[in-house]
Amino acid sequence: MVGGETVTGRLYGVGVGPGDPDLMTFRAHHVIAACRAVAFIEADGRPSRARRTADPAVPVGVEELPIALPMRPDPELAGDAYDAAAARIECCLAREMDVAVLCEGDPLLYGSFIQLMERLAGHCEIEIVPGLPSVVAAAAAARLPLVRRDEVLTLIPATLTEPELAARLAVADCAAILKTGRHLDKVRRALSEAGMLADAVAVLEASMPAEKIVPLAAWTDETLPYFALIVAHRSSLK
């Protein structure tokens, strides 16, 4: 005990960027290398992309805390997984271990870390290490300017309903659509209704060796890979 308060480790939400380890920040490398434990999401049992990206910075022998997260449209199921993960992390913090939660992209941009931060706030010191978001990496890969002058960039999760997607796109100068996957059909229809389909580009595996840029109108599959992102700019503003 120090000053009447329990001494704990510090919790870090560390953005490791879009996938290429070279795009991790110096701060991310420094924090990960100094922590005694690292936590990371393993969605539906798949190996963690964030853990793979951060591998060059993770010291040998650190305690690793994989977080099994079911990717289902059931908030209660996900909530239970986050509760269990927060409890495991808190045990490490109580042992005065600093813990780095490895996050794809940026921790606070659609990041699972937000759920952990909300559960552990008030129990420990928390620091956020920003990371390069996938939307920036995708735009760089496709050499597509996102916004100019007074244009507005709209980030849209493809999990919205089709009417919601159409409404957001109707007023967008440039849209970056995330989490497309199995929602591709309704995204295509919404883009077509907004007059943005012809200029929309799908970027797969941005910053990675398997990176691929495809005009969305030419994509014939019914789904997109989970780590694909669509960038659509209103042609009248080009």
DSSP state of 216: G
Same domain, yes or no, for 146 and 118? Answer: no
Mean local confidence (pLDDT), 228-237: 82
Across all residues in the chain, what is the average pLDDT? Answer: 92
Domain count, the chain: 2
pLDDT at 8: 85
What CATH number does the domain containing 98 carry?
A: 3.40.1010.10
Tell whether 2 is covered by a domain. Answer: no
Tell whether 1 is covered by a domain. Answer: no
pLDDT at 150: 92
Tell whether 3 is covered by a domain. Answer: no
Same domain, yes or no, for 203 and 185? Answer: yes
pLDDT at 125: 95
What's the rounded Cα separation, in Å, for the pair 219 and 224? Answer: 9
Same domain, yes or no, for 187 and 111? Answer: no
pLDDT at 223: 87
Mean local confidence (pLDDT), 188-211: 95
Same domain, yes or no, for 139 and 101? Answer: no
Mean local confidence (pLDDT), 100-106: 98
What's the rounded Cα separation, in Å, for the pair 142 and 51? Answer: 26
Res. 46 pLDDT band, cuts 50 70 90: confident
Same domain, yes or no, for 95 and 199? Answer: no
Give the structural domain span for 228: 134-237
Same domain, yes or no, for 138 and 97? Answer: no
Specify the higher pLDDT residue, 222 or 188.
188
Q: What is the DSSP string of 61-126?
A: T-EEEEEEE--SS-HHHHHHHHHHHHHHHHHHHHTT--EEEEESB-TTSS-THHHHHHHHBTTBEE
Same domain, yes or no, for 108 and 149? Answer: no
pLDDT at 72: 66
pLDDT at 6: 57
Instruction: Please name the residues in contact with 105: beta carbons below 8 A apart, sequence gap of 6 or more.
Output: 15, 17, 18, 111, 131, 132, 133, 134
User: Considering only 65-74, 81-90, 110-119, 172-181, which range has the smallest mean pLDDT?
Assistant: 65-74
Tell whether 189 is covered by a domain. Answer: yes
Same domain, yes or no, for 194 and 231? Answer: yes
What's the rounded Cα separation, in Å, for the pair 190 and 147? Answer: 21
Which of 129, 159, 176 is the C-terminal boundary of a domain?
Answer: 129
Res. 1 pLDDT band, cuts 50 70 90: very low
Which tens digit of pLDDT belongs to each residue from 115-169? 999 999 998 999 999 999 999 999 999 999 999 999 999 999 999 999 999 999 9
- What's the pTM? 0.91
Tell whether 5 is covered by a domain. Answer: no
Contact predicate 29/12, CB 8 Å: no
Please work out, in degrees rounded to the nearest 5, the angle formed at the alpha carbon of residue 225 by the alpha carbons of 222 and 231: 90
Same domain, yes or no, for 145 and 91? Answer: no
For the chain, helix (H) and strand (E) counts, in that order, are: 7, 10
Res. 87 pLDDT band, cuts 50 70 90: very high
Tell whether 159 is covered by a domain. Answer: yes
What CATH number does the domain containing 203 carry?
A: 3.30.950.10
DSSP state of 18: S
What distance lies between CA 131 and its chain's CA centroid? 9
Which of 129, 162, 188 is the C-terminal boundary of a domain?
Answer: 129
pLDDT at 51: 98
Which of 78, 97, 129 is the C-terminal boundary of a domain?
Answer: 129
